[in-house]
């Protein structure tokens, strides 16, 4: 929400600057506000994801790491049952 508002304000400031109706400083302020809003949104998203992982672990979830086989043909042959 804040990021969208900051984006709109920055677009408007850029338009006004291009027409010569405002100086560079208000344009730079709008860009700073837009970047700060994006940064806050990214930090919030990161906290949300980290908290989700902590919740998953607290509820007893475990992480399993699956390694990719270096030779897919060899692993496929190893997974097959032996011929009788």
Q: Are 27 and 17 in contact (CB under 8 A)?
A: yes
In terms of pTM, does the model score above 0.75? no
Domain edges within the chain:
2-61
Structure tokens at 43: 């930090």
**Predicted pLDDT at 76:** 57
pLDDT in tens, 9-32: 999 999 999 999 999 999 999 999
pLDDT in tens, 26-76: 999 999 999 999 999 999 999 999 999 899 888 887 666 677 777 766 555
């Amino acid at each position: 929400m804040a990021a969208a508002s900051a984006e709109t304000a920055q677009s408007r400031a850029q338009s006004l600057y291009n027409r010569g109706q405002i100086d560079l400083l208000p344009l730079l302020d709008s860009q700073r506000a837009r970047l700060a809003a994006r940064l806050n949104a990214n930090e919030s998203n990161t906290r949300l994801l980290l908290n989700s992982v902590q919740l998953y672990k607290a509820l007893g979830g475990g992480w399993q790491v699956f390694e990719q086989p270096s030779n897919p043909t060899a692993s496929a042959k190893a997974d097959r049952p032996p011929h009788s």
